[in-house]
Amino acid sequence: MHCVILAAGTASRLRPLTDSTPKCLLQIGHRTILERTIRAVFHAGIIHFTIVVGFQDWKVKNFLKRNFPSLDFTFVVNNRFDTTNNAFSLLLARDEIIGHELLLLDGDILFDDEIIPLVMKSPRETTLAVRTSDSVGAEDVKVEVKEGGEIIRIGKELPAASAFGESIGIEKFSRGDTTKLYDTLEKRIKTENRVDEFYEASFQELIDGGTKIYAIDAGKYRSIEVDTPEDLQTAESLFS
C-alpha cells in the first residue's frame, strides 16, 4: 500500500502564521502536523510515501529528509497550488500510485494514531474514516450512508441533519478502485477543467456510477482539520 499526503496549499486563513511556513509544518506541541501524520502512518506499517507539495515545497522536502532519512519519499510538485484545489494535487500523484492500494490523507489534519489501523484493517476494500462525535458544520465534508455503512452522498453542501458524520480526510482505496478514482479525476480535471474542486466530487461520481465506498466510524477517536486560528487553538488543546 502506498500513502499519498496532500500538502500543497497556501493556508491563507491561517496567515500570518503561514506567510512563510507551509501549514503542515505548523507545530502542535513539540511536533509538526506532518511529523505526527508520518509517524502514525509508518507505525501502521506503511513505508512508501508520495507527498504532493506546492507552497514553499523545499521546506517540506527538507523537513522530511532531515527527520525521516530512512523512509521512502517521492515528492510531486503542484506548481499551480495557488489556483487549484486538492483534486488537482491528487491527480498529479497518479504515476506513483496506479497499480497499488492507496491510503490518502490530507496534510492538515491531526488525529489519534489508532485511526490509521482502524481504516487499514477494515474488511471493506474502499473506506473512509468518519467523525461521528459532536455536530458537523457548514465547512465540514459531510457523509450520508445507508444501512451497512455504504456511502450514498458526500460533500460540504449536504444538510447536517441527515449526515452520518464528517469525513476527516483519511481514505483507503483498493487497487481497482484507485484506478477508477484516477480515471474519474482525469476526466473531471483534464477534460472538464474542474481544477478548483475538492476530490470528494470524484468520490461522489464513483458512488453514482456504482463503486461502493464505505464509512467507518472513528467517533471515539480525536481528529480535527486545521483551517483557521480557532482550529489551531482547538488542536493545541487536544493534542499538545
What does the pLDDT look like over 108-165, one tens digit per residue? 999 999 999 999 999 999 999 999 987 888 888 999 999 889 999 999 999 888 899 9
Average pLDDT, the chain: 93
CA dist 97 and 178 (Å) reads: 8
**Structural domains in the chain?**
2-239 (3.90.550.10)
Sign of CA dihedral 49, 128, 228, 157: positive
What is the CA angle 161-164-165, rounded to 5?
95
Asked whether residue 227 carries a pLDDT value surpassing 90, the answer given is no
The confidence score (pLDDT) of residue 160 equals 86
pLDDT at 72 over 90: no
pTM of this prediction? 0.94
pLDDT tens by residue, 90-114: 999 999 999 999 999 999 999 999 9
Tens-place pLDDT, residues 11-33: 788 888 788 899 999 999 889 99
Distances (CA, A) of 216 to 72, 115, 133, 155, 203: 28, 10, 13, 16, 16
Alpha carbon distance 42, 56 (integer Å)? 24
Write the pLDDT tens digit of every residue in 192-214: 999 999 999 999 999 999 999 99
Residue 161: what pLDDT?
86
CA-wise closest residue to 119 among 217, 6, 239: 217
Report the alpha-carbon distance of residue 148 to residue 68 in Å, rounded: 39
Task: Tell me: pLDDT of 182 over 90.
Answer: yes
**What are the cell numbers at 86?**
486538492
Mean per-residue pLDDT for 208-232?
92
**Residue 240 scores a pLDDT above 80:** no
Which pLDDT score is estimated for 126? 97
